[in-house]
Amino acid sequence: MTHDAELERMTVDAVEKFLESEVRPYAHALEKDDIYPAEIVEKMKAMGLFGCIIDPEYGGLGLSVSTYATLIERMSAVWMSISGIINSHLIMAWAVQRNGTEAQKRAYLPRFATGELRGGIGLTEPDCGTDLQAIRTVAQRDGDDYVINGAKTWITNSMYGNTIALLVKTDPTATPRHKGMSLFIAEKGPGFKVTRKLEKLGYRGIDTCELQFEDYRVPADRLIGGVEGKGLKHVLNGLELGRINVAARGAGVAREALREAVMYSQQRKTFGKPICEHQAIALLLGEMATRCEASTLLVQSAARAFDRGERCDMEAGMAKFFATESAMSNALDSMRIHGGYGYSKDFNIERLYRDAPLLLIGEGTNEMQRLIIARQLVERNPA
């Protein structure tokens, strides 16, 4: 896919204006009351953001993942929750664009691009997160359909969305286990139940739910790629994209925490001078700024590798690990710089501090990222 540099620049400019005028003024109140940002989502649809990395052939904007990562960083600096509304959706869209049959692409990608169909990915289960091969949700073939039974949890966009890429076992006895796993395009219908919205520390406003599938029927032509046993492979490629997204979120949260700290430290005075002139504060600011720059560079390095079609689990893992740890560190350091005000709900710092921990866990824990980095390091540098 070729990327139009002018379109990409204009899109970034338009999104930045949108964030300042349509999101920043309302984010604090919506987040505080855990209200779904329905009006913001409609505006995001109108801007084409639900199709930003979908090929123009199927109605999308066809942006590079490098530009997409820049958009996510900017969004997360203003309100991280809205970045998740398009991220989970685009992992689902990417699974179809990269692995789907031509009929599936033509049927679904244009509707994903407009946001008419929108949702996310159904991977995690109540007793299964990192080890996806341990899922228990089962799909059994029955004529022209599959009948699905099981449960999923921590599913983003599942209450207000209408479609998910659903990971199931089509052969629970397969060895190795991944050969029995398949991915379906699952639209809401009889047997697809949203049982509970989860209450969260941060990342509020976005719908994260538990799902139950009871004799839920999905037509066989919704099996992504049309062949059983490829589901885990389809998911893992999408998770590279997801990790770049979460890394970009980390870079955005880290940068916003720095921005707030720099502004506040120039306004607040102690002992006759702005606190930014005290060495203890200056040391924190210097370290925070360096984390921000390194995070953005790592995110862009991984995104460019993805755009080139290269395997980038190590690069995405490095970006995800470093940028999200930077978000957590910068949020805490910014809170320290703000003193008591940083602990107040009147300021944005406590929201950044609550949002950051999710990034250490989501799309593969940072412990898992370090293992992936090390494994790839050894594989790429044989003795």
**Tokens at 35, concatenated:** 């209200």
The CATH architecture of the domain made up of 233-380 is Up-down Bundle (1.20)
Active-site residue 363, yes or no?
yes
- Candidates 22, 116, 363, 367; catalytic one: 363
Does the predicted model carry a pTM greater than 0.85?
A: yes
pLDDT digits 0-9 by tens, 28-42: 999 999 999 999 999
The proportion of the chain whose per-residue pLDDT surpasses 70, expressed as a percent, equals 99
Name 214's Cβ contacts closer than 8 Å, sequence gap at least 6. 149, 191, 193
Question: What average pLDDT does the segment 344-362 reach?
Answer: 96
Q: SS3 for 140?
A: strand
157: left (phi over 0), alpha (psi -120 to 50) or beta: left
Chain-wide mean pLDDT for the chain?
96
Residue positions counted in the chain: 383
pLDDT digits 0-9 by tens, 230-263: 999 999 888 889 999 999 999 999 999 999 999 9
DSSP 33: T
CA angle (214, 217, 218) in 5-degree steps: 130
4 pLDDT above the threshold of 90: no
Question: What average pLDDT does the segment 302-326 reach?
Answer: 96
**So what's the pLDDT on residue 237?**
81
Instruction: Tell me the domain boundaries of the chain.
Output: 5-114, 120-230, 233-380
Band of residue 1 on the pLDDT scale cut at 50, 70, 90: low
Band of residue 2 on the pLDDT scale cut at 50, 70, 90: low
Q: Are 123 and 236 in contact (CB under 8 A)?
A: no
- String of DSSP letters for 62-116: ---HHHHHHHHHHHHHHHHHHHHHHHHHHHHHHHHHHHS-HHHHHHHHHHHHHTS
pLDDT digits 0-9 by tens, 106-139: 999 999 999 999 999 999 999 887 788 899 999 9
The proportion of the chain whose per-residue pLDDT surpasses 90, expressed as a percent, equals 94
Name 185's Cβ contacts closer than 8 Å, sequence gap at least 6. 92, 96, 104, 108, 163, 165, 166, 218, 222, 224
**So what's the pLDDT on residue 227?**
96
Name 79's Cβ contacts closer than 8 Å, sequence gap at least 6. 23, 24, 27, 30, 31, 205
Instruction: Tell me which of 143-147, 234-238, 334-338 is least confident.
Output: 234-238
Question: What average pLDDT does the segment 136-159 reach?
Answer: 97
pLDDT digits 0-9 by tens, 83-101: 999 999 999 999 999 999 9
**So what's the pLDDT on residue 382?**
95
The CATH number of 120-230, from 2.40.110.10, 3.30.499.10, 3.40.50.300, 2.60.40.10, is 2.40.110.10
203 pLDDT above the threshold of 80: yes
CATH number of 5-114: 1.10.540.10
Backbone phi and psi for residue 139, each to the nearest 5 degrees, phi listed first:
-120, 125
Band of residue 302 on the pLDDT scale cut at 50, 70, 90: very high
- Closest by CA to 30, choosing from 150, 115, 169, 22, is 22
Question: What is the Cα 352 distance to its own chain's centre?
Answer: 16
Q: What is the DSSP pairing of strand 208-219 with strand 269-270? A: unpaired
Task: Report CA dihedral (210, 214, 218, 223) to the nearest 10 degrees.
Answer: 60
